Amino acid sequence: MKLRPHSEVWGIEPYKSAADIGSQNLDVVLQGTFDEVSHLLPKASFDLVICNDVIEHMTDHDKFFSDIRQFLRPEGWLIGSIPNIRFYRTLFEIVMARDFEYQDQGVLDRTHLRFFTFRSLERALKRANFKIERYEGINDYFELNDFSKLEIARWLFGLTLQIATLGRHRDIRYVQIGFRARL
């Protein structure tokens, strides 16, 4: 999917320094969170809304999915990516280590307010009456590059889970979930 030539591009950015950079490249940049600036958005005006690594930072993702509909044109698209809490390394920490620690980045980023699986994201989109057109794991990170005991244990855990369930839990391979949904 490509933007049409001369498309008007808007952005919402909570951090002033990033909003300043964005304003050099976009037509309009609103500085603040979606909840803080959504009243400034024109209704039924956008063909496409992109939310890459955004929704997990929202205090109420269901409200966002419901609210964003009013700004999309009929047949408008919502495209995004979101961390997959069922990623095998995260599951290993929860199941085998019986613990997890928030990180500065990644699935367990300390700024994440919400966590999603394939099913929970699908349910949230459907509950907001979006038609999911594409839904898949992205950033397949099921590889063994670090041969430390911990990394080997994590990798074997993931491999065993996939084999024992005859591939039913293949979604654990992916760091993120990508989606494309339509009104």
Over residues 23-36, the pLDDT tens digits come to: 999 999 999 999 99
What percentage of residues in the chain have a pLDDT greater than 70? 98
pLDDT tens figures, 5-25? 788 999 999 999 999 999 999
The pTM assigned to this predicted structure is 0.87
Q: Which CATH number fits domain 42-182: 3.30.540.10, 3.30.70.270, 3.60.21.10, 3.40.50.150?
A: 3.40.50.150
Q: Where are the domains of the chain?
A: 42-182
Mean pLDDT by 10 residues, the chain (183 residues): 78 94 94 96 96 95 96 96 96 93 94 96 96 94 87 92 88 95 95
Q: Is 53 left (phi over 0), alpha (psi -120 to 50) or beta?
A: left
CA atoms within a 13 Å half-sphere pointing along the CA-CB vector of 174: 18
